Structure 1
């Protein structure tokens, strides 16, 4: 079994995919658009969305992150955060620096009661990320 996160966007999914591919240093994936599926009821009812993303996924160190533009438009909420857990302080630091520009920083990268390095930020696509240096004893 595998648990994957699926992120929905309001027409800017392709930009989000490029952003996350850059942040995580992975290749841009193949992108299926609504125009690739003309029989799809959503695509048929909204012909002006043919270039929007129907499905794409990034492989981030063996973990799948799935993407789509959603119609009707998706409500962007605050009920989820994606958490990156790593044993590598350099990796957490690098991801923090790459995500930080243009983000709303909720918590700077810092030592906490549960981690020697933890940060929380909301990126330009309103996705909240937690970066957690795990499996390290806290002083």
Structure 2
């Protein structure tokens, strides 16, 4: 079994993919737009949504993150029910990633030594996605 975070964004999935690719030195595995999806007589997409992402995946280390923009006409809602915990065995690497996520983001708990980690912090990035940065 594998658990994969799937981020649904409100028209800025392509920007998020580029951002996370840079932050995590990720590999883009796939990007499909709504315009590349099959169209039938019964089902089509609005012209202004054809460049939005219908599905994408990136490899971050040994993990995968998936993305899409919301279906045309359905807004995305920012929430706090899902966070992504990124674990490191190196506090310097944790600090580097935490710093990169601050670009346009908001620190919710500064990266610092805790009773359970030499470097732990929580940050909401510029897309409203909350990351827990944890060092073992």
Common fold, TM-score beyond 0.5?
yes
Match of 1:109 in 2: 111
Match of 2:83 in 1: 81
Match of 2:11 in 1: 11
Select which of 132, 135, 139 maps to 2:134: 132
Paired positions, count: 133
> How far apart, CA to CA, are the structure 2 residues paired with 1:19 and 1:106?
20
Question: Unmatched 5+ residue regions in structure 2?
Answer: none
> How far apart, CA to CA, are the structure 1 residues paired with 2:126 and 2:99?
14
> How far apart, CA to CA, are the structure 2 residues paired with 1:47 and 1:38?
14
Match of 1:39 in 2: 39
Q: CA deviation at 1:45?
A: 4.3
Match of 1:64 in 2: 64
**RMSD, matched Cα:** 1.7
> How far apart, CA to CA, are the structure 2 residues paired with 1:63 and 1:13?
18
Secondary structure of 1:65's counterpart equals strand
CA contact (8 A) 2:57 2:65 kept: yes
Deviations 1:68-98 (A, max 9, x none): 0012111111111111011111211110111
Match of 1:137 in 2: none
Deviations 1:4-48 (A, max 9, x none): 01000010100000000000012344310001113279x714232
TM-score of the aligned structures, taking structure 1 as reference length: 0.88
> How far apart, CA to CA, are the structure 2 residues paired with 1:40 and 1:113?
57
> How far apart, CA to CA, are the structure 2 residues paired with 1:73 and 1:40?
24
Given the superposition, is the C-alpha separation of residues 17 and 40 from structure 1 closer, same or farther in structure 2, using an over 3 Å criterion?
farther
Secondary structure of 2:100's counterpart equals helix
